[in-house]
Structure 1
């Protein structure tokens, strides 16, 4: 490359010269042609950007720290390179998640491309905190575009000393591990540092308290209702809603009971006339979304935060009968509130009843895993292929077991004979959500191309996960 290159020439200068022509905007050059000099400059700037560090005079970089994590196998690294190269690109997240869970680190030559991708795609960042290893964090310290890595979890299970000194991700991982083992100790840890935490971390730490949640957490969460940040207040209100015996739940029960009553076998509604400060403190947002009336919005939120157990007690009817009752006015709001309450409180009985009334993915996710797959499989068998079917299957957590897998594969086989053009999304879900160890079942089910394509994807995933063991 020509030694006359001037480091003050930036990318913008090169783009300008390329657009107007090097004859009109020449660069200082000793090359055979101005065009060759422009390409030399562009190549050098590209190398600088990819290296992650602007050259500095007289300050050699310290070497990257020694790695402590095992590197992924050669086969696993080669498969990741193929995925990054365009082969089955949708499996990238699954590969990263599986590798990070095993405490592996990436081959160094794969780091720049993945860090660049994570700069654009936040969803893969948590996995890279582990996979990047010491070299990745060293690179992140040199390139501001990769600085996000310094906030992610650096090991599958963060050590105890990280609560005071670790990254934000490490501290979340540590708090989660402590919460799983000793809920009270985790709460005490958080109480000690609460005032010093950033608003973003306060909200994230509250989410962790959902594991092992009990009335012992209520005083702390009641105080969090007065936090200056709305995200923190609403996270605290959500957690208190999950505790039917909490003071917030009882306050909401009183408000809800004042809004609903039965008359002549019908459910009659009187939404609140105003949203006062006490309601707002308990998590009711005063300003409705665009297109929603204020009273409608307040009613939904009150019903959503009231304990589900109050309704059978108030009206003397089980959930199945309540859902089928006639509601002359405000019925949509009450049903939406019941759905939200079911999701927040994780009530399987209400989830089954409401799913039969309106099959929603959020309700499916409330059910225990075995029930979830049974309900989803039954829905797939009796429902046509449409957007609702796809949404329901999106709520069935992977990996799908044999019953749901067979129901979906049979649906693919059925639709392939009538609407083959309509199969892409269902086939994609099947290939990405079915337990990959079931690839043999898919291969044997039918020789039809749509089934064999799903089987091929399942086999690819099965091989991928075995390479990471």
Structure 2
């Protein structure tokens, strides 16, 4: 009998180039059935019973709602349901495990909380089905010393929020033994509680073998204006730009040496970028924003005869990397991208997004901006979005699906009465129905 690899390769190149003795399609059908029906003999110990559970299961009504969500009713709420359920410290009922573990094979958004919710039986199942083995890499609540990679990341994240210095010392103590993937993930976690105390460790990480580690270390050092990296980038930026009272003159870098690459400058530009434009944009992005000594509005009002787009794109990236609220506000007015909202608190995010919603037509940019606003949306933003839905429903009802879903998923579910009374328009009532569904969901979980 031909194996699957032979059949597949023959089908790809064609029987003209690789003759097949017999009926290729019939053989493929038989092999497909054999592969689906076949099963390897059980290994020793595979018949052992699942261990007893230690966690209490979630309540019956919460489980019933989960079945509805998985069955297709407001299916996009599944990650939110799982997050809420994981926060309770309970587990999901055993009869729901196979379907959710199967879903986790292709939907990574559900994996983060399955490790906590699947219980001991879920991990027992995952150990016996290679397709579900991903669960064994998700957090279970174990400690730094005993846990897997995901548990150790979760432990470091919690410790970093509570005691940044101790978290860094713990990481330094095991750094040389960590895998490259873990080093990259751990470095990113130092963003919580970042301070100049972390600077020596991050400076040394610029020499790591893994590019992702080096890049993340450079990103974090960019947020520290007094870091050695920031001082080096300030020198490069001064060499590139001369800020006059009315005009900014620009001379991009003529090359990208190893020292620049060590500091996070990528030498090879993306498709469509010139090298010097790419290097200039990155230098500006990593130079401390305090270097310019003036409010961003004043600088944006100046004329840049050459390289204007690259300079301003660099300032946008700098505002994102350095989480500078004043610059984020100013650059959002110039280029309203969702990433800039991360530099602002939830209240100001919603204020900017509400103004943008009122002034902007419904298009993909509006959806992206709203997608970057942290939930739960309060009344001003909720009202602005509902007003936009009513307005668009009168002219382009076919264009509303994503905005309606986003509103129902991000508005505070406690505002369901507001949405219900806002307008009888069917699209607004769809938002209200989804908000009521979420309100009931959280009530059942808590």
**TM-score (norm: length of structure 2):** 0.91
Give the deviation of 1:212 after TM superposition. 0.7
> Across the two proteins, how many residue pairs are aligned to each other?
432
1:56 aligns with 2:42: yes
**Aligned to 2:26, which of 17, 20, 24?**
20
How many angstroms apart in 2 are the aligned matches of 1:253 and 1:345?
14
Partner of residue 449, structure 1: 426
Partner of residue 125, structure 1: 111
Q: Secondary structure of the residue that 1:141 maps to in structure 2?
A: helix
- Conservation of the 8 A alpha-carbon contact between 2:46 and 2:128: no
Larger Rg: 1
Unaligned runs of 5+ in 2: 6-21
Partner of residue 393, structure 1: 370
Q: Secondary structure of the residue that 2:289 maps to in structure 1?
A: coil
How many angstroms apart in 2 are the aligned matches of 1:278 and 1:57?
54
Q: Bigger CA drift: 213-222 or 261-270?
A: 261-270
Q: Which runs of structure 2 are paired with 1:342-421 in the superposition (5 Å)?
A: 342-421=319-398
| Cα distance change on mapping 1:11 and 1:264 into 2, 3 Å | closer
Partner of residue 31, structure 1: none
Residue by residue, what CA displacement relative to the aligned partner does 1:193-229 show, whole Å, maximum 9, x if unpaired? 1011011100100111111111111111111000011
CA RMSD of aligned residues (A): 2.6
Give the deviation of 1:147 after TM superposition. 1.4
Q: Secondary structure of the residue that 1:309 maps to in structure 2?
A: helix
Unaligned runs of 5+ in 1: 1-7, 28-37, 49-53
How many angstroms apart in 2 are the aligned matches of 1:464 and 1:204?
32
Residue by residue, what CA displacement relative to the aligned partner does 1:256-288 show, whole Å, maximum 9, x if unpaired? 011001346111110000111111111111111
Q: Which runs of structure 2 are paired with 1:275-314 in the superposition (5 Å)?
A: 275-312=256-293
Partner of residue 317, structure 2: 340
1:87 aligns with 2:36: no
| Cα distance change on mapping 1:286 and 1:21 into 2, 3 Å | closer
Q: Bigger CA drift: 97-106 or 450-459?
A: 97-106
1:222 aligns with 2:203: yes
Q: Secondary structure of the residue that 2:102 maps to in structure 1?
A: helix
Partner of residue 8, structure 2: none
How many angstroms apart in 1 are the aligned matches of 2:65 and 2:338?
33
How many angstroms apart in 2 are the aligned matches of 1:286 and 1:329?
21
Partner of residue 207, structure 1: 188
1:322 aligns with 2:323: no
How many angstroms apart in 1 are the aligned matches of 2:400 and 2:123?
42
Give the deviation of 1:451 after TM superposition. 0.8
Residue by residue, what CA displacement relative to the aligned partner does 1:362-408 show, whole Å, maximum 9, x if unpaired? 11222111111111111111222222211211111111111111110
How many angstroms apart in 2 are the aligned matches of 1:185 and 1:311?
35
1:242 aligns with 2:223: yes
Q: Which runs of structure 2 are paired with 1:135-150 in the superposition (5 Å)?
A: 135-150=121-136
Residue by residue, what CA displacement relative to the aligned partner does 1:278-300 show, whole Å, maximum 9, x if unpaired? 11111111111112111111111
Q: Which runs of structure 2 are paired with 1:111-190 in the superposition (5 Å)?
A: 111-155=97-141, 158=142, 162-190=143-171
How many angstroms apart in 2 are the aligned matches of 1:262 and 1:238?
25
Give the deviation of 1:10 after TM superposition. 10
Give the deviation of 1:43 after TM superposition. 8.5
**TM-score (norm: length of structure 1):** 0.87
Give the deviation of 1:20 after TM superposition. 3.0
